Amino acid sequence: MSTRREFITLLGGAAAAWPIAARAQQAKLPIIGFLGAAGPAVASHWLAAFVKRLHELGWSEGHNIAFNVRWAEGRRDRAAEIAAEFVRGKVDVIATWATMPALVAKEATSDIPIVFALATDPVGSGLVASLARPGGNVTGLSAFNIDIVGKRVELLREVVPRLGRIAIIGNVGVPDTAAELRAVQAMAQHLGLAVAPLEIRRGEDIAPAFESLKDGTEALFVVGDPLTYVHRERIIALALNARMPTMCAIREFVATGALMSYGTNFPDLFRRAGEFVDKILRGMKPADIPVEQPFKFDFAVNLKTAKVLGLEVPPTLIARADEVIE
């Protein structure tokens, strides 16, 4: 079954979420409010993994549970509107991903349990008190991005061995993204690379950021968050136009045309987030459910992009990849 068919079969489609939620209130079914940080075109397969895991654990849409699915499209103001709607609608659990939407949901309610499928630094951002004892009404999974920054930079250097100057693009409006930007910059400088930070806060900032680049910038490092994810096609197109190989954290960037990605396996995180929701629906409190860390990572390489850029990817690196696009 394709991801899209599976998603439609399990959930009935996001377009049906509001009527289903309304019926669920009448039938007193538990409602999960799913606050999608990006949009359905790019993230519905992650939601499908989440819904499938709940189905495996005994939760069936329209039978003993309902979903209210909304999409923020990478916008904080939209995420705040959705969180407020969920609170007014008295959903039983709010599920989301990325630090910004999780923080917005936490600002909207201190009572409704919140599960985040991933967050880069849940303690540093204030989502939870600690990984072992989250406290409050929030728990979930840490994306662990900062700790694998060095791995991404090293992989990029294997393909561009004489790499001297790297650009880093990320949304500085999100605290943990800004922290990862600093970590990438520190790692690059430690390796003797010059760094050109491209700081953005909205989609309109992307093109001017690229225009500010000086000649001699040889590669691009993309810090993943809902904003860069929603606008990944534009970012990759601009990078290719500037003939810069791109390293990303999320596999979907590579499918769009980025050279490489190395990072957490997102479908696995969303499946595990379903297990968190299951525990909460069966009576556990978020404060008592420790935040977990990822243990599945993906490395993807796009050989089509390498050919366009005139780069030769070492066979040893290809052999280590979990996915190779040819």
| Domains in the chain: ranges and CATH | 3-143+265-296 (3.40.50.2300), 146-264+298-325 (3.40.50.2300)
User: Per-residue pLDDT tens for 200-216?
Assistant: 999 999 999 999 987 78
User: Per-residue pLDDT tens for 8-40?
Assistant: 444 544 434 444 455 555 568 999 999 999 888
Instruction: Give the pLDDT mean for 138-164.
Output: 86
Residue with tokens 């993309």: 222
Maximum separation of any 2 CA atoms in the chain, in Å: 64
Q: Is the pLDDT of residue 51 over 80?
A: yes
- Distance, in Å, from the CA atom of 157 to the CA atom of 153, rounded to the nearest integer, reads 6
CB 128 within 8 A of CB 134: yes
Smallest Cα–Cα separation from 181: which of 203, 197, 166, 165?
197
Mean pLDDT of the chain: 89
The predicted pLDDT at position 103 comes to: 95
User: Per-residue pLDDT tens for 96-134?
Assistant: 998 889 999 999 999 999 999 998 889 988 999 999 999
Higher local confidence (pLDDT), 134 or 146: 134
Report residue 90's pLDDT band, with 50, 70 and 90 as the boundaries. very high
The predicted pLDDT at position 5 comes to: 45
Q: Which residues, 6+ apart, have CB-to-CB distance to 232 below 8 Å?
A: 42, 222, 248, 250, 252, 253, 256, 258
The predicted pLDDT at position 21 comes to: 52
The predicted pLDDT at position 145 comes to: 62
Q: How large a percentage of the chain has pLDDT more than 70?
A: 90
- Distance, in Å, from the CA atom of 146 to the CA atom of 66, rounded to the nearest integer, reads 35
Residue with tokens 């969180």: 83
Cα three-residue angle 153-46-293, rounded to 5 degrees = 55
Q: Could you tell me the two tokens for 240? A: 């290719």
Instruction: Give the pLDDT mean for 64-80.
Output: 94
Report residue 282's pLDDT band, with 50, 70 and 90 as the boundaries. very high
